[in-house]
Amino acid sequence: MPTARHKSVLSTLGAYAVLLPLAVVTLVPFVWLVTSAFKSREQFFGSMFLPRGEGVLGVDWAALTLENFTRLFSEIAIGRALLNSLFLSSVTALLATLCCAAGGYALAMYKFKGRGICLGIVLAALIVPAPLLIAPGYQVLFKLGLLDTYTGLILPGIAPAFGVFLFRQSVLQSVPPELLEAGRLDGCGEMGIFARVVLPLLRPMTGAFLMITFLAMWNNFIGPQIVLQSPDKQPLSVAIAQLKGVYYEDYGLMMAGTLVSVAPVAVLFLLLQRDFVSGLTLGAVK
C-alpha cells in the first residue's frame, strides 16, 4: 500500500518538524553550560558562547581551557562529594521505589480494614505544603538524634505520598488481578508475588520513578545542608551551590561542577529509559 507508506513517511517528517526545533530551544542553555565550563575567567563574559577569534568557524579555540576542571578537583574535595551524592541518591531512590511500589500495590490490589483511611492519608499527605513542616520537622530529626546522619536525610524521603499514589494508579493500570491469583495457585507467598509478579509488571513505572527520586536527591542542595552538618558528608549539589555566594560567584567553576554532576545522571537516564519506553508490560501479559 504505497499510499499508507507515504502517509507514514509524511507524518514522521511532521513529527521531526515539531521535535527538532523544540529540541534546539531546549538545548540552548546546555550549549551555554558546556562552553562556559571551558572558558577562563577572563574570557567568561566576553562572549555568549565561544570566544570569537581566528580559528576554525571563527572561534578562538586556543582560548579554551581546562582550568576550571583542574581547579574543581584540586580546590574541592569533589571525589568525596561525588561518592556522597551517589550513595544518598541511589539508596534513597531504591528504598523509595520499593516502599512506594509496595504501598501502592497494597492500596490497589488488597481489600483490608482501613484501606479507605490509608488512601485518605496518602491523599492528605500529598497536599501538605512542605514549608509548613520545616521548623517542626527539624525538631523531630533532632529529637530522634538523626541530625548529621545520612539516615536523617534518607529516612523522611523513603515513602513519598506521591510515589505511593503513582504506583497505586500504575498497578490499577497494568497489573491484572488474575495474574496474582495464578501466582497464589502456584504457591507463591504474598512477598513472592510482589517481587516476582508485580515488580516486573511495573517496570516502566519503577524505571521512571527510580530516575525521578534519584534526581530529586541528586539536585537537592538545601536539605543536605540542613540535616547533614559535617562538611565531609555533603553531596556534590551542595559543593556546587556553595560556589554561588551572596558577595561571591565563580561562574566557570560552577559550570564545570554542574557539568560533572550532570554526567552520571545522564548515563543513568540512558540506562533507565529503556524501561519506561520498551513496552515490556504488554509482552508479559500477553
Partner 1 sequence: MKQQASHTTSTTTRAPRFAARPGWLSYFSLGGWAVVVVAIVSTVLVVLPEDRAESDVTLWTFAPPHARMYEPILEGWERDGSQGSVGIETLSLPALERRMLGGFMSGVPVADLIEAERRVASRAFGGPVESVGFLDLTDRLREDGLLDAINESSFGPWTYRSRVFGLPHDVHPVMLCYRADLVEAAGIDVAEIETWDDFARIMRPLMADNDGDGAPDRYLISFWPTYIDNIEPLILQAGDGLFDDDDMVSFATETNARVIATMATWVAGPDRIAADVPEFSAAGNKLKLDGYVVAALMPDWLSNIWRQQLPELSGKLKLMPLPAWEPGGRRTSVWGGTMLGIPKSAENPDELWQYAKRLYLSPELSRSLYTEGDIISPVRAHWDDPIYDAPDEFYGGQPKGRMYIDLAPDVPRRTSSPFNKMALERVQDAAHPAQPRGGGRPGPHRCGTRGSRPRTAAGGRGRGPRAHDAQRHRDREARGGPAMSDTRHGRFAPYLFLAPFLGVFAVFVAYPLAQSVVLSTRQMFGPTASVYVGMDNFRFLLQDPLFHKAVRNTLVFTAGSIFIQLPVALGLALLLDRPGLRGRNALRLVFFAPQLVGLVFLAVMASVIFQKRTGVLNQILEEVLGNRLGWVLQSGPWLDYPWLESQVMWALILSALWMYAGLNMVYFLAALQNVDRSLREAASIDGAGVVRRFFAVTLPAITPVAGFVVLLSVVGSLQLFELPYILLNAGGGPDNQGLTIVTYLYQSGFETGDLGYASAIGWVLAVMLAVFTLLQRFVLRERNA
Question: Least distance to partner 1 from the beta carbon of 66, Å?
Answer: 20
Question: Least distance to partner 1 from the beta carbon of 141, Å?
Answer: 8
Q: Is 31 in the site for partner 1 (CB under 8 A)?
A: no
C-alpha span between 81 and 232 (Å, rounded): 7
Q: Enter the DSSP assignment of 148.
A: T
Q: Is 61 in the site for partner 1 (CB under 8 A)?
A: no
Nearer to partner 1, 56 or 270 (CB): 270
Question: Least distance to partner 1 from the beta carbon of 38, Å?
Answer: 14
183: its cell numbers? 501466582
Query: Cα 206 to chain center, whole Å?
Result: 12
Burial, 82: exposed, middle or buried (Cβ in 10 Å; 0-12, 13-18, 19+)? Answer: middle
Q: Is 126 in the site for partner 1 (CB under 8 A)?
A: yes
C-alpha span between 231 and 136 (Å, rounded): 24
Q: Which residues contact 276 (CB under 8 A, 6 or more apart)?
A: 203, 204, 205, 207, 208
Q: Is 265 in the site for partner 1 (CB under 8 A)?
A: yes
Contact (CB, 8 A) for 80 and 231 = no
Question: Least distance to partner 1 from the beta carbon of 1, Å?
Answer: 11
Q: Is 34 in the site for partner 1 (CB under 8 A)?
A: no
Q: In the window 82-111, what residues touch partner 1 (CB under 8 A)?
A: 83-84, 86-87, 90-91, 93-95, 99-100, 102-103, 105-107, 109-111
45: its cell numbers? 563574559
172-211 footprint of partner 1 as x/- string (CB under 8 A): xxx-xxxxxxxxxxx-xxxx--xxxx-xx--xxxxxx-xx
Q: Is 150 in the site for partner 1 (CB under 8 A)?
A: yes
C-alpha span between 118 and 120 (Å, rounded): 5
SS3 call for 121: helix
204-243 footprint of partner 1 as x/- string (CB under 8 A): xxxxx-xxx-xx--xx-xx--xx--xxxx----xx-xxxx
Question: Least distance to partner 1 from the beta carbon of 204, Å?
Answer: 4
Q: Which of 122, 153, 217, 256 binds partner 1 (CB under 8 A)?
A: 122
Q: Is 145 in the site for partner 1 (CB under 8 A)?
A: no
Question: Least distance to partner 1 from the beta carbon of 257, Å?
Answer: 10
Nearer to partner 1, 55 or 80 (CB): 80
* DSSP states along 50-106: SPBSSSGGGB-GGG--SHHHHHHHHHS-HHHHHHHHHHHHHHHHHHHHHHHHHHHHH
* DSSP states along 239-256: HHHTTB-SS-B-HHHHHH
5-24 footprint of partner 1 as x/- string (CB under 8 A): ---x--xx--xx-xx--xx-
> Cα separations (Å) of 229 from 101, 121, 150, 180, 234?
31, 32, 10, 46, 8
Question: Least distance to partner 1 from the beta carbon of 258, Å?
Answer: 5
Nearer to partner 1, 24 or 62 (CB): 24
Question: Least distance to partner 1 from the beta carbon of 56, Å?
Answer: 24
